[in-house]
Every structure is written in C-alpha cells, then in structure tokens.
Amino acid sequence: MSQTLVLNATYEPLGVVSDRRALLLVLNNRAISVEDSDSVFHFTGGELAVPAIIRLTKFVRIPYRHAIPLTRRALFARDGGRCVYCSAPAASIDHVLPRSRGGGHHWENVVSACHRCNHVKADKTLKELGWKLRIVPREPVGAAWRILGSGRTEPKWLTYLEPYGGASLNAVAASA
Ligand SMILES: [Zn+2]
C-alpha cells in the first residue's frame, strides 16, 4: 500500500494518509486529486487513478503546530546535505557544544557534519578549534519538515513540500 500527501485547501502540506483513505476523501468530495500516482484502483463499475497528492476542498484550521522531530534526515535537509564546517557531503550528526561538555540534543545545538570534521572536532568546542558555523542552527518551521522527518517521501511530493521547507529538500530527498 502506498501513501498520499494531503494538502490543505491553501496548498499547505498537512500530512500523509494511506492511498485508500485518500481515495475515500476524493470519492466523498472532501478532497480532489492534485496529482495521480501510477496505480489504478478497480471497483465495481469502474476504475480510478490512485492519487499521489490530494488537496482538501475545505480549508482546515490547524489548532497548534507540532514540534519538528529531530531526525538525521530532517537535520541533513536543514543544512543542505553538507557539513556545516567544510561543506563536504554530510555523513554524521555533530553536537556544536559537545554532549560531554553539557551540550543538549536539540535543533539549536546539532548540525550536519562529515566524518572527518566530526572526528577532528571530537569533544572540543568551536572556540578551542577556531572553527565557524556556515549556518545558525535553528529549528525548521513548517509542516513539510514534519513530513520529511517522518519517513518516506515520494519524489512527486517535493514540488508541494519545497515552498514550506526550503529548496534544500530536493537535494536531500535525492540523496536519501
Ligand atoms: Zn566537514
């Protein structure tokens, strides 16, 4: 069974549902298919393309925003898939202030790093090494990040996720 990306009436990404649930939403006129997948659903009396992306016909207000889970995938996306110290391809997670020195595991203290920089840095601080960050580590904002961090992302979804997650999503989805 594959999954379908759900967009709000405003095109803001909301989440992911099973393709069966997506079909039901379309059949009940609660959503329209924005892009179809390659699979077809057969039923008595006809067939219907299974949607890859649907958009709700009515705007849904989101009562509160969830925190974005700190996953390796989402972190690499935030940092453009590159080491924040030397711009080599990201391969590991680095704690800017090392955990052994009291640094926490949160968006403001973790960055993407290559193996080499991570190894050289070990439990030293940036000041001790004279290193600088290319980016200021912050928690990303937007539903696209939650979807990206939660698991598999269909290539077709990226066009709709990008405006809500930055241009780096494409690079990371391609390398994941
Ligand atoms: Zn590096």
Res 17 pLDDT > 50: yes
Q: How far, in Å, is the centroid of ligand 1 from the Cα of 126?
A: 13
Res 30 pLDDT > 70: yes
Q: pLDDT category, 176, cuts 50, 70, 90?
A: very low
Q: How far, in Å, is the centroid of ligand 1 from the Cα of 148?
A: 24
Q: How far, in Å, is the centroid of ligand 1 from the Cα of 144?
A: 27
pLDDT tens digits for 43-54? 888 888 999 999
The residue ranges of DSSP E strands in the chain, in sequence order, are 3-7, 13-18, 31-43, 46-56, 92-95, 110-113
- The residue ranges of every structural domain in the chain are 3-64+142-175, 72-129
The reply to whether the predicted model has a pTM over 0.85 is: no
Q: How far, in Å, is the centroid of ligand 1 from the Cα of 118?
A: 7
Instruction: List C-alpha distances in Å: 59 to 18, 33, 170.
Output: 20, 15, 27
Other Cβ atoms within 10 Å of 77 Cβ, number: 29
Q: How far, in Å, is the centroid of ligand 1 from the Cα of 150?
A: 26
Q: How far, in Å, is the centroid of ligand 1 from the Cα of 120?
A: 9
39 compared with 165, residue with greater pLDDT: 39
Fold (topology level) of 72-129: DNA Binding (I), subunit A (1.10.30)
CA distance 56 to 17: 12
Q: Which amino acid, residue 118?
A: N
For residue 157, the model assigns a pLDDT of 87
Other Cβ atoms within 10 Å of 113 Cβ, number: 25
pLDDT tens digits for 68-113? 888 888 888 888 889 999 999 999 999 999 999 999 999 999 999 9
For residue 174, the model assigns a pLDDT of 47
